[in-house]
Structure 1
Amino acid sequence: MQKLIPHLSIRILQQFFVVFAIMFCLHGYAQEHHPNLILTKKGVTDIRKHLGQIPIFDQTLAATKKEVDAEIASGIHVPIPKDMAGGYTHDRHKKNWLILQKAGILYQLLEDEKYAIYVHDVLKAYAAMYPTLPLHPQTRSYARGKIFWQCLNDANWLVYVSQAYDCIYTYLSKQEREYLEKNLFVPYANFLSEGSPQFFNRIHNHSTWGNVAVGMIGLVMNNEKLINNALYGLKSDNIDPNQKDNDGGFIKAKGQKTGFLANLDEPFSPDGYYTEGPYYQRYAMYPFMVFAEALQNVKPELKIFEYKDGVLIKAVYALLNLTKTNGEFFPLNDGQKGMSYYSRELVSAVDIAYHFGGNDASLLSIAKKQNKVQLDDTGLAIALGIQQGKTTEFIKKSIELRDGSDGSEGSVGILRSKDQHLELLMKYTAQGLSHGHYDKLSFSYYNKDTEIFQDYGLARFVNIEQKNGGGYLKENKTWAKQTIAHNTIIQDETSHFGGKFEIGSKHHSEKYLFDSSNPKLQVVSAKDQNAYPDTKLHRTMIMLEDEDFEKPILIDVMQFDSNTIHQFDLPFYYNGQIIDTNFEYITPSSLEVLGNKNGYQHLWLEGKKEFQNDETTQVTWLSKNTFYTLSTIIKAKDEFLFARIGANDPKFNLRRDPSFIVRKPKTKNGAFISVIETHGLYDPVTEIANNAYSNIKGITKFSIQNEKYIAWAIITKKGNTHTFILCTSDTNKKSTHNLSLNGKTYTWSGPYSYTKEN
């Protein structure tokens, strides 16, 4: 018996040393592998070595230091949550997440303990408050948060704050880390995931933020359960598959995969287009890209930047191509105008795409315009690239971006003039989840930063508390999402799919043709046969550059074919001052509303003309000292309406924007054919107007017995005739066609023909 005791003691000692060794290794891991999310230990060393030599990085760092120092001087502010977006507590906690992340970075780069102390003190205040917090007192969200009125903002907070925690991880003692993780980070992550499955387990930008928040803090704490939940979603949940969020979108389709990877698989097309539209793609790109950066740093074996054929890097290029010349995003679906690639999300996205996507020098030109960088390894790469003179220009050309996870659900087509000043965007996509609008085959058109024909965007004042707590206004549903709010066709004053999400989400438009091979004649064409029952729609838009016109013209051909008689409207939302029309119209002595539902209740009728004969109407207007003319083929009994947004809007939630509406009151089939000219200049200093008149004399549509073709001609005031023929059933470039028009035979190959005759 006595001989056994020493052996047992030896075994106990051996086990002790094993446990000690494991604990030592874990401690070593903590010491050696932080920071490891967006900053790395090697990156920190490299950055410190180059400080003072990389202007764009140094400027960003100096501005960040000034901002954070001011906040530290003001003290710690962790109020009890109570407000909606735009209120004090909301904005204070939002400011905290931004400052904490920046303070953590400053600690790493400047080695000044005051930043680590500040981060720790603020996190301790949150850890003391969080266990006592109920759900947020504001009850409007389908997934209420605790610090904010919705889980989405709680997730925003954790995405940023996890980076701050990573930066001070090694500064804290084991006991300090245990306190923060037990009282704040673990329960926070559990609340966002298992506690809010209707938020976490879905395909939507909301859940992307939730997935990334849980994944980022999981990476910091080396918590595999949280990391797996983030990547692959919860294993099971009790969500009603028919439950909807605040915007009317379904929370979760039955049997649908969830998690970060599923949110890469589903909303993104192979071209990097995000089905919700560029505004929400911009918003989601920050969590997508920073989590990918963190995964690449911590779990490089996942090869996240190669996932789905490198879709994340493609998504950055897609977003940059979805901007106007001034960098503002096209406001597809729910989108706030003015949002641009100068946003902090795109600063991060461009830096990360450059660093992990092959050091494309053209991205440096975007970074130079942004004039700031992410304060990490990727920002250093950008700064060094610019300093070393590697910058080349990012050139935006005509491009088609497919929609749908496999690229089969329509597209967005963008045509650009050679000088990139004129830009057409035509939308023939899927619904766009809950942020989608009912606007199949719609378009918007721009001259640099001027909206020639605009998309309204969303009806919301983001983070302005006085306007519905900064949330969506009811007019977003009654106006902005409705078809009449867009430049596309409306049947019987009813929105596409009856304005019903569950119907619209089942269908998408179909690409017919996209051809930008000839910069002087570019074509985009698409069809839709689901927007209205028993009605087929086909829109073709052509950008033509010719010496007859000062600048390229845009030709718009909207065909419709129904089994029964309907009223068809085609609106054009312009900006500017009407200069002239070639027809007389009636203006009412008092304003009257154009309709009573589906968005028409928000339109005032300001003028009207009913035509007795076939003719070409023309309206010229002036916007930002440039003239524009809309020339349109009109048939007898057609109407031309002048309308303005603002009816039934007692709280002035809508802009008072004007529009033209071409109406065909009773017909089964036909086409709206229009030409938009950009011409002339008015100089308010010299008070001289140059080329203020249209160069078009008229437009003619040819009568053709063969329904597989449509043909029209534009006759200029010089006497030249531009004739176009489109085959509407065959896009094969090798197919040959023969067609007789007014006794003349046209022979060509491919889907369309264009000839100019003097």
Structure 2
Amino acid sequence: MENKYFKQQILIIIISLCTFTSFARDLQLFCSVGNYRVKSAGAFGAAIKKRVNEEPAARKAWSNIVSRANIALIEEKPEIKSLSVELELARENNRSNVKAARAIYDSALVWCTERDSKYQESAVRYFNEFITKFKPEEQINGIESIHKYHLLYARDWLPYLAKSYDLLYCSLSGENKKKYKLWLKSMVDVISEKEVWAKWKNTTHGAWQSAALAIIGKVTGDVNLLILSRRRILYQLENVMGPDGLWPGGALKLDYTATRAFLAYAEANLPGRGRAYNWENKSKESYIHKLINAPLMFIDALGAIPGSDNMKTGLPPGDIYLIAYLRYRDDLYGEIMARQIDKINDEDILIYYLKPVRNFNIFPRPLYSVLSPSMGWGILRQFANNPEKSLFARLDYGPHGGSGGNADKLDFYFCGLGRRVVSSGGSYAVKSPLRFGWTKQTLSHNTVTINYHSQVGAKSPSDPNGVPGKLLLFDRNEDINVVEADARNSYPEVPLTSYRRCIAMPDDYIIDIFTIVSSKPITLDWVIHGLGKQVAIGDAVKGESALNNKLAIAGLLGSKADGYNWIDKVDSYIANEQWNVVWSSGLKTIM
């Protein structure tokens, strides 16, 4: 009798354990928190606690996350707004949707860590509001018919909801599990269609749509979505990315957008066999690793990437190198991330931050002169590993950069000897008159304007019609580094036979030769935007002093508004032969 009863007890215990574990599910989108491997939501929460105790950066991020989760507790309903409206309003509305989705994710993170049911209930309440207010069959179809800007949800907030569903899954009722799963899958129905992919497959929109398919496929267990996303991501890596590891089109902003999408895909597929980090090109190079390394070739003599189009001078985005440092443990990645830690989302810091092992000087990679076909940039360097002697020059001859590109063919940027001496474009808000009236125009760049007109590609704020130049020469050797390009097609209305620029760096100085040949008389303005408030002109005689009135400026600069209307305090000089300019920044130009 005793033995029979004992066997009965064992059987009951085994059945009970099986019944309990059948409701549990491993996390689908998370495999680690920092250095800690995690498998379940419980292990995830335990790892967060360890990280918060060990890392000041994680502790600060956690404090901010908890604060937002507490705010969500007292807000009755989040504002979920329509995206099926004109694009400008859709972008404005989307800020509310991002805020609400982030509140769900923050609440899910706090619940996993603290196991306080009020945070779980708050996340569920917000999630239900999303499902009630944002109906995919209406909203997504509306987006496709009105502005087709699926990035607004696929990139900006759908990943937050997918991650929240993953973290909350084991705590959800059977009804909510089913409801959330169906809603998440319906959110990607339109972007999974062949016709939609055909429109976007060669764009960064397509990259993020593919990443969204992977994220939703992984969290809902939809194998078809995973297969589809894998096929599409591989298509872009194999056929769209340039041989230099950069997104084509001449805009670093697009490259960073694509890199984030590919990283999002790679991270979604870490818990499983589909490790995109291991995918290699024909040269046996990791696609993802090459993507991350590629922008580092543009780092100048002062440890930053010079501005272009509407991007300011600075380091590549810290959030990209946050993940890259965790996965590759490269000291340069760690330094780039650490210097920008305050610009990275708290949630990403909490999950991915790893404290750099040591401080690291930021040098370009590689240290020699390089050519980027995707950007259309020729980069010249001397003494790159010696900051005090280092020289850097960039000639931009490449693609226009899409609707955000500027009319800046043959723009020339340089710096060195420890000084930044010329400007490299400006960055203004979309609605600022300077965004189009100045930055988009040729006059705002270090190049040559013809007949007071901008090059093609500056007729409207989003004019995408600039044309690329043609590379004529690039060489580097022990004696000289040189790049030359022609961009005569940027002035189709002018009968040019030559509009080319040659930049040479023979030693510790730079030679700039701009050759322009026209079959008709033309007016040229050769522009250098030197830094420094004081300018000294040598070997030239000052002309009229009263040139700061509208009539005089119109006579001197022409009547066109292609950036000239933003110039004031104009002085003229007369020189017979060679003359020079010295800026207070230390730049000396001899002409």
TM over 0.5: yes
User: Could you tell me which of 556, 574, 585 is aligned with 2:543?
Assistant: 585
In the alignment, what sits opposite 1:313?
289
Q: Is the 8 A contact 2:188 2:212 kept in 1?
A: yes
In the alignment, what sits opposite 2:381?
415
Matched, 1:509 2:452: no
Rg larger for: 1
In the alignment, what sits opposite 1:96?
100
Tell me: CA distance 1:377–1:197, structure 2 relative to 1, closer, same or farther (3 Å): closer
Whole-angstrom distance in 1 between the partners of 2:453 and 2:197: 32
Number of matched residues? 539
Alpha-carbon RMSD:
4.4
Matched, 1:352 2:323: yes
In the alignment, what sits opposite 1:32?
26
SS, match of residue 412 in structure 2: strand
In the alignment, what sits opposite 2:334?
364
Whole-angstrom distance in 1 between the partners of 2:126 and 2:195: 25
Q: Is the 8 A contact 2:65 2:346 kept in 1?
A: no
User: Could you tell me which of 592, 606, 609 is aligned with 2:572?
Assistant: 609
- Worse-matched range after superposition: 80-89 or 198-207: 80-89
User: Could you tell me which of 365, 369, 394 is aligned with 1:425?
Assistant: 394
Q: Is the 8 A contact 1:412 1:427 kept in 2?
A: yes
Whole-angstrom distance in 2 between the partners of 1:78 and 1:605: 49
Tell me: CA distance 1:376–1:80, structure 2 relative to 1, closer, same or farther (3 Å): closer
In the alignment, what sits opposite 1:535?
497
Whole-angstrom distance in 2 between the partners of 1:293 and 1:363: 17
Q: Report the AA paired with residue 62 of structure 1.
A: R
In the alignment, what sits opposite 1:292?
266
User: Could you tell me which of 404, 407, 417 is aligned with 1:438?
Assistant: 407
Tell me: CA distance 1:176–1:380, structure 2 relative to 1, closer, same or farther (3 Å): closer
Quick check: which one's strand share is greater?
Answer: 1
In the alignment, what sits opposite 1:493?
452
Q: Report the AA paired with residue 396 of structure 2.
A: K
Whole-angstrom distance in 1 between the partners of 2:146 and 2:45: 42
In the alignment, what sits opposite 1:190?
189
Q: Report the AA paired with residue 300 of structure 1.
A: G
In the alignment, what sits opposite 2:221?
222
TM-score, normalization by structure 2: 0.76
Matched, 1:566 2:522: yes
In the alignment, what sits opposite 2:13?
none
Whole-angstrom distance in 1 between the partners of 2:348 and 2:434: 44
Describe the superposition over 1:333-362 as per-residue Cα deviations: whole angstroms up to 9, x where unpaired.
332x26644x4xx33x224334444x3343
Unaligned stretches of 5+ residues in structure 2: 1-17
What pairs with 1:158-177 in structure 2 (closer than 5 Å)?
158-177=158-177
What pairs with 1:701-720 in structure 2 (closer than 5 Å)?
none
In the alignment, what sits opposite 1:242?
none
Whole-angstrom distance in 2 between the partners of 1:267 and 1:208: 10
Describe the superposition over 1:97-138 as per-residue Cα deviations: whole angstroms up to 9, x where unpaired.
4444444445556666555444333211111211299659x9
TM-score, normalization by structure 1: 0.61
In the alignment, what sits opposite 1:120?
124
Tell me: CA distance 1:460–1:532, structure 2 relative to 1, closer, same or farther (3 Å): same
Q: Compute the displacement of 1:265 (Å).
A: 4.2
SS, match of residue 381 in structure 2: strand
Whole-angstrom distance in 1 between the partners of 2:330 and 2:203: 30
Q: Is the 8 A contact 2:424 2:445 kept in 1?
A: yes
Q: Is the 8 A contact 1:38 1:163 kept in 2?
A: no
Whole-angstrom distance in 2 between the partners of 1:28 and 1:602: 71
Describe the superposition over 1:275-331 as per-residue Cα deviations: whole angstroms up to 9, x where unpaired.
342233234432221212223434426666425742322222222443457765422
Q: Compute the displacement of 1:571 (Å).
A: 1.0
In the alignment, what sits opposite 2:15?
none
- Worse-matched range after superposition: 192-201 or 279-288: 192-201
Tell me: CA distance 1:177–1:196, structure 2 relative to 1, closer, same or farther (3 Å): farther
Q: Compute the displacement of 1:79 (Å).
A: 1.2
Q: Is the 8 A contact 2:31 2:37 kept in 1?
A: no
Q: Compute the displacement of 1:400 (Å).
A: 1.8
User: Could you tell me which of 517, 521, 524 is aligned with 2:483?
Assistant: 524
Q: Report the AA paired with residue 292 of structure 2.
A: V
Matched, 1:279 2:248: no
Tell me: CA distance 1:264–1:85, structure 2 relative to 1, closer, same or farther (3 Å): farther
User: Could you tell me which of 257, 261, 268 is aligned with 2:241?
Assistant: 268
Tell me: CA distance 1:122–1:107, structure 2 relative to 1, closer, same or farther (3 Å): same
Whole-angstrom distance in 1 between the partners of 2:371 and 2:145: 32
User: Could you tell me which of 20, 27, 37 is aligned with 1:43?
Assistant: 37
Q: Is the 8 A contact 2:394 2:414 kept in 1?
A: yes
In the alignment, what sits opposite 1:721?
none
Whole-angstrom distance in 2 between the partners of 1:142 and 1:324: 44
In the alignment, what sits opposite 2:531?
575
Unaligned stretches of 5+ residues in structure 1: 1-23, 233-258, 462-467, 546-551, 633-758
Tell me: CA distance 1:65–1:441, structure 2 relative to 1, closer, same or farther (3 Å): same
What pairs with 1:32-71 in structure 2 (closer than 5 Å)?
32-36=26-30, 43-44=37-38, 58-71=55-68
SS, match of residue 524 in structure 2: strand
Q: Report the AA paired with residue 425 of structure 2.
A: Y
Tell me: CA distance 1:621–1:434, structure 2 relative to 1, closer, same or farther (3 Å): same
Q: Is the 8 A contact 1:38 1:293 kept in 2?
A: no
Q: Report the AA paired with residue 413 of structure 1.
A: I
In the alignment, what sits opposite 2:8?
none
Tell me: CA distance 1:412–1:178, structure 2 relative to 1, closer, same or farther (3 Å): farther
Q: Is the 8 A contact 1:515 1:523 kept in 2?
A: yes
In the alignment, what sits opposite 1:692?
none
SS, match of residue 176 in structure 1: helix
Q: Report the AA paired with residue 576 of structure 1.
A: G
In the alignment, what sits opposite 1:667?
none
Percent identical across equivalent pairs?
Answer: 17
Q: Compute the displacement of 1:69 (Å).
A: 1.7
Whole-angstrom distance in 2 between the partners of 1:585 and 1:29: 86
Whole-angstrom distance in 1 between the partners of 2:420 and 2:549: 29
